[in-house]
Structure 1
Amino acid sequence: MEDIPCCQRTLYSYVDKQYLSVINLDLPRKVRYKKRKKKQLDTPVPRYRKNRTYRDLLDFLASSPDSSIVELDVVEGAGGKSGPVLLTLFFRNCSLIRYILPS
């Protein structure tokens, strides 16, 4: 290893890409260890439209007043993600607010 001026990880990458005439059986650590699995994210990535503001919503409502829009909000309790959660639905066309406490 002292003769090659690169780190061990780079050397293993070169072997995987077949830049060298070495195979995985020639590398004792490579054969002995199983490849690690990638962990899944605990929380999903938030999906929302970037660069949208409340002013954009008001402009849309002014241009099409007959559209039916429902606004959803999530209110988390004091315990954070593990505490109680309250969902609020605001129906704009009839000014109705509905609260849902999921079980």
Structure 2
Amino acid sequence: MGLDIDDRVRQRAGEILVRVVEQPTLPSHLILGACAVELAQNYSHDQIAQAAAWEPVSRSADFDEPYPVDLVDHAQKNGPRLPTPGVDQEPRPVTTGLNRPRRPVP
């Protein structure tokens, strides 16, 4: 009798967590799975791009920065707002074993 895919995924995730918590420096976020890493990286890249595109507007909130910033010209120059993952885009199917129906163990 072998373990089904869900059990193997949970077992591997547990082993990874145990190994990580034994390290002297812990990550602030631990992302497990190739699909999860891709989603997190895409989201982070989009956040950085939005922050860069709207930087003059963001900085204009400080009193020592130029104000007001022309929002219309700025928006036209930097293009439309980037899509927010999970809000503006169709979600991609997750390909880990965690969301698959459990198969009975023979």
| TM-score range normalised by the length of the shorter chain | under 0.3
Given the two structures, how large is their TM-score scaled by the length of structure 1?
0.25
Larger Rg: 1
More strand by share: 1
Given the two structures, how large is their TM-score scaled by the length of structure 2?
0.25
More helix by share: 2
Could you say which structure has the greater relative contact order, defined with CA pairs below 8 angstroms and 6 or more residues apart?
2
